[in-house]
Amino acid sequence: MENPVEPGRTLQNLVEPCSLPLYACLRVAGSRIPDPGSRFDHHIFIARDFSPRIECHGASTVVLDVSGLGRLLGDASAIGAELRRAADGSSADLQIAVARSQAAARLLAIARRGLTVAAGDAAAAVAPLPLDTLRVCMEDDVVGGGRAAARLQTTGVHLETFRRWGLTMVGEIAALPTIELSERMGQQGLALQQLARGVDLTPLVPDPGVPRFVQSMELEWPIDALEPLSFVLARLLDPLSSALERADRGAAALRLDLRLVDRTLHTRVLQLPAAMRDPKVLRTLLLLDLESHPPSHAIDVVTIEIDPVPGRIVQYSLLERALPSPETLATLMARLRALVGEDRCGSPIILDTWRPDRFEMKNFEPSLQSPVSSSQPDVASVSGEVCRAVAASAAKADGTPGTLILRRFRPPVAIRVTVDRGRPLHVAIDRRGMPGGRVERAAGPWRTSGAWWNGSDSAWDRDEWDAALSDGSICRLFHDRLADRWFLDGILD
């Protein structure tokens, strides 16, 4: 039997080509700004055809791990040629490099046009490259600002120092003594030297990829009513929901683009409170939103795009009360908003101000936190059927008068008050079903004022009174000192 192993080769020599990592880099020269749907996206698709392990650097470079392709395609040159063939015609300024490290592949792709293959030592392959290659390589990673941009600025300073030292090639930086370099430039200098030696600073972090969930339908006849549109939405949402389920994803936002017959685009974006993919829920939400915001003309083309997020995993408890599910809540809130208005349903939050009736509405999102244990105010013991509801505290630390439950009138009702030495004696209201009568007992005045520094529109200055009237009702009145008028703020109930 013929011995295929040539004399003089060691086991390491034989195993090496298969076991050593091999990376390829595709780079579009001159592309820095992320542009969805650009030719760079096309190159990402090409990279995915070759390897599931790809990593994007900025908006121009994609590195792929082609270590296992040797058996399928051949050596590094064959892999590079196959990559060039796959990308043939896609872009004239596409630069491809195949090397033993990511860093070397990236540097070669930056410096050399066309296809470059360096299957040997990475440091030797990048040694003759110009110094500026390192700067471009660092720039590729910086898309926005922040810490990376600051690091890039420091890198530029270091490269300028190298130039002043008379260094022009990458290999010359690689040859510098490490300890002295560290003493002068610190960790960043060392990182630059590692890059110059073709050593990977970080392992390849595979990009999970974000598939687009888009469905579109061009209608044969324009639709101008919601009912027929609901069937179209169902037809589009069903496959989208299936695709989300296959990818274990949920929808975080729904974007509905309706191209109308007058060539305008009616766009609605729904931000969902939780990841969901039930097509019926999504369709209901879209229809309810369109009820509130109908398109101006008939619809020609319907496009739905979903922003995917990882699927929601919920561990229910046997011991806690079940809260409404996010899908149920989203549908309920959409229906309520359509019924009563956008800002008239939700949870109130108290604003940090002394202004009366200080609150604003926010989305109702009950959290699954553990119940509060007995934080209720004390209730005085009672006898028989009579009990005394003592509000939280008569004299709160903030100095507000007793926090009894108030039924507030919005806006306050104008009243006529007979006053003796500043104290209300009699209350009369010209509205049916409102309290009124002689003031049996009163407490006050509690004076509050504020926002006078903002101008007269938002300023308030009032004296509040709690008054028990002869008809049995206990009211909160106030005297608006700016307008010199009396109002009924609410009824204590």
Partner 1 sequence: MPSARRVELESLLRARQLDRTLTSAIPWSTSRDVAATGIASLDRALGGGVARGHLSEVVGPRSSGRTTVLCRMLAAAVNRGEAVALIDTCDRFDPLSAEGAALDLSKLLWVRDVGNALRALKAMNLVLQAGGFGLVAFDVADVHAAALRQFPFTTWMRMARVIEGSQTVAIVVASERLARSPGGVTIALEPPPDASTAQWCGVSDRARFLRAIDLRPRVVGGR
Residues 460-479 contacting partner 1, CB under 8 A: 466, 468, 472-474
Cβ atoms within 10 A of the Cβ of 123, count? Answer: 19
Identify the sign of the CA torsion 256, 258, 264, 266.
Answer: negative
Q: Which of 85, 147, 164, 410 forms a contact with partner 1 (CB under 8 A)?
A: 410
Give the count of residues interacting with partner 1 (CB under 8 A). Answer: 82
397 touching partner 1, by CB under 8 A: no
Q: Find all residues with CB under 8 Å of 336, minimum gap 6, and list them.
A: 345
Our finding on whether 291 is near partner 1 (CB under 8 A) is no
x/- track of binding to partner 1 for residues 160-199 (CB under 8 A)? ----------------------------------------
CB-nearer residue toward partner 1: 5 or 389: 389
Residue number, 209 or 324, with CB nearest to partner 1: 324
Helices (DSSP H) in 201-325: which residue ranges?
A: 226-246, 279-292
Tokens 């410096």 -> residue: 111
Residue 318 interacting with partner 1 (CB under 8 A): no
Give the footprint of partner 1 on residues 226-265 (CB under 8 A).
Answer: none
Which parts of 377-396 interact with partner 1 (CB under 8 A)? Answer: 377, 379, 381-382, 385-396
Under rule CB under 8 A, residue 403 binds partner 1: yes
Task: Considering only the stretches 83-91, 279-287, 303-311, 334-342, report the one whose residues sit in contact with partner 1 under the rule CB under 8 A.
Answer: 334-342
- Considering the complex, state which of residue 208 and residue 366 has its C-beta at the smaller distance from partner 1: 366
- Min. distance of Cβ 361 from partner 1 in angstroms? 8
Task: Give the CA distances from residue 249 to residues 12, 241, 266, 286, 389, in Å, rounded to whole numbers and listed in that order.
Answer: 45, 9, 26, 19, 50
Instruction: Report whether 57 contacts 140 (CB < 8 A).
Output: yes
Instruction: Give the integer Cα–Cα distance in Å for 34 and 57.
Output: 11
Distance of CA 281 to the CA centre of its chain: 22
Q: How far is the CB of 486 from partner 1 (least distance, A)?
A: 18
Q: Which residues of 267-286 are buried (b: 16+ CB within 10 A; e: fewer)?
A: eeebebebbbbbbebbbbbb
Per-residue x/- track, 443-462, partner 1 (CB under 8 A): xx-x----------------
CB of 253 to partner 1, least distance (A): 22
Specify the pairing of strand 61-65 against strand 54-57.
Answer: antiparallel
Q: CA-to-CA distance for 172 and 285, rounded, in angstroms? A: 63
Q: Closest approach of Cβ 362 to partner 1, in Å?
A: 9
Q: Which of 12, 371, 454, 456 binds partner 1 (CB under 8 A)?
A: 371
| Closer of 128 and 348 to partner 1 (Cβ) | 348
Nearest C-alpha neighbor of 399 from the set 441, 448, 359, 364: 448
Q: At 394, which helix (H) or strand (E)?
A: none
Q: Identify which range of 20-28, 127-135, 214-222, 353-361 contacts partner 1 by CB under 8 A.
A: 353-361
Residue of the chain from 35, 141, 291, 357 that contacts partner 1 (CB under 8 A): 357
Q: Which of 372, 397, 455, 484 binds partner 1 (CB under 8 A)?
A: 372
Does residue 367 interact with partner 1 by CB under 8 A?
yes
Sheet holding 265-276, edge to edge: 213-223, 299-310, 249-260, 265-276
Question: Applying CB under 8 A, which of residues 19, 375, 454, 456 lies at the interface with partner 1?
Answer: 375
Residue 267 CA to residue 241 CA, distance in Å, equals 20
Please report how close the Cβ of residue 444 comes to partner 1 at its closest, in angstroms: 8
Find all residues with CB under 8 Å of 152, minimum gap 6, and list them: 138, 139, 142
